[in-house]
Amino acid sequence: MHHHLFLMLATACLARADDHGGVTWSPKANEVIDLTHHLHPDTPVFPGAQGFNYTRIRRGPWVYGAGWLEDNDICGSDLMGTSLLAPARWAQNRWYINEIPPHRFFGPVVKVDVSMKVENNSNYNLMLSDLKSWESQHGRIPDNAIILVQTGWSKHYGNKTAYFGTDAASFLINGEPTTNHPGISDEAAMWLAENTTVYGVGIDSPGIGPSSSYTASTSLHKRNIYTIVGAVNLHKVPAKGYSLAALPMNVENGTASLVRLLAFRTAKLSPKPEDTVDLTYALNNDTVMWVGREPFQLFSVYKGPLIIGNNNLWFEKNAFCGPEHMGTHLDAPAHFIKDSWRIHQIPPHGLIGPAVRIDIDQKAVNDPDAVLTVEEIKAWERENGRIPENAIVFLYTGWGEYVNNYTAYLGTDNHENFH
């Protein structure tokens, strides 16, 4: 399998780490565990769902910049590979992706390992007794935790039939799920929803399930607890002591999104709402795009009541298409420099670091072509000290004010050709 494609990290949340033991959050490579699968055209999706569609727009020499440009369009189901499901997916009038308060994307990890039980029963569902047994070994589930259920199922990821436990062409046949994979029992989900303050519940199988009924997500989503599916590397995360960042693509009215999941031990992060600043725009059909590029589009695939077996559930899902370079996004070095890192090659610890903000908004008022100068960086350092190691530098231009006006934001009213 060639891993020449990319993952998307379209959410940049900042959590203040200095209120949590004075740490500057600049983890080393061995302190961050990536719990996400690489996204590529063979990424497994639920039976009948639209797969990941990656269209290469350009990969070759270019007259601008450093002389090279790589650019792609992507399409697919909202739930693919490693994804975060918003409460609105299985519960009406609950949070969409863009409505989940961002501090809830961080929290202490509670990892519950049921992989031995799954070895003997591939339809095993996490029981309440598994959670009680975790508590008797490790103490109470901490406040605002994120539960990760290790089933060992990610080893089947490369084989769609094995991963979903079916080779059926659709998810439901005669109102019954065709899938067979480990999940979470209704009893355990209800207990987590009622008797803990968890922000989210994740698993390394394709769904929270149970795969015979898909009822467990409803209990969690009704309480605005998000779920995460398709995690990987959970065996590398200890039962407790790590924290998680679960950063989904910020899609307006999204019921699920690609997510980047990073577990780390450097900082014990459990931020309050006021500790967290969301630096992303929510993506919608009106999101401004580069000259000549397709818009982002969210397509409704299903929204309404859904009967599975004897259960009356609510369900909403979407698909999307758009350029990679849409809304708030991260450009991998390969975008402009031949043979450098694509998204999935950026070491995950490099996605976390101290934030530095340098303001050029004053001069940008009168100069739409304003650029940062070395002198301005030195001036920043005279005032604030050296730019810390492994920092991530943000330029504040004030230009966000124009984001809803194509002509002002891009400084042109040419919609067709970049040249």
Ligand X SMILES: *[C@@H]1O[C@H](CO)[C@@H](O)[C@H](O)[C@H]1NC(C)=O
Which residue ranges make up the site for ligand X (CB under 6 A)? 53, 55, 75, 116-117, 120, 159, 161-162, 190-191, 194-195, 252-253, 284-285, 297-299, 321, 405, 407-408
The nearer residue to ligand X, 35 or 283, going by C-beta atoms, is 283
Nearer to ligand X, 120 or 312 (CB): 120
CB of 52 to ligand X, least distance (A): 9
Q: Please state, in angstroms and as integers, the Cα–Cα distance from residue 356 to each residue in 35, 245, 261, 266, 393, following that order.
A: 27, 20, 23, 20, 5
Q: Which is nearer to ligand X, 96 or 380 (CB)?
A: 96
Q: What's the min distance (Å) between Cβ of 183 and ligand X? A: 17
* Amino acid occupying residue 60: G
Q: What's the min distance (Å) between Cβ of 147 and ligand X?
A: 15
Tell me which H or E stretch contains 202.
strand 200-203
- Please report which residue ranges of 197-268 form alpha helices under DSSP H: 216-222
Q: How far is the CB of 121 from ligand X (least distance, A)?
A: 8
The DSSP letter of residue 362 is H
Q: CB of residue 167 vs ligand X: minimum separation in angstroms?
A: 8
Collapsed DSSP state (helix, strand, coil) of residue 347? coil
Residue 108's closest CA among 270, 273, 247? 270
User: Which SS3 state, helix, strand or coil, does residue 36 take?
Assistant: coil
Q: Which of 227, 328, 314 is nearest to 283 (CA)?
A: 328
Using N-to-C axis directions, what is the helix angle for 186-195 and 128-138, rounded to 10°?
50
Nearer to ligand X, 24 or 72 (CB): 72
Tokens of 146: 């994120």
What is the closest distance, in whole angstroms, from the C-beta atom of residue 1 to ligand X in the complex? 12
Is residue 226 within 8 Å of residue 199, measured between CB atoms?
yes
Nearer to ligand X, 69 or 283 (CB): 283
Which is nearer to ligand X, 304 or 385 (by Cβ)?
304
Handedness of CA 117, 114, 186, 215 (dihedral sign): negative
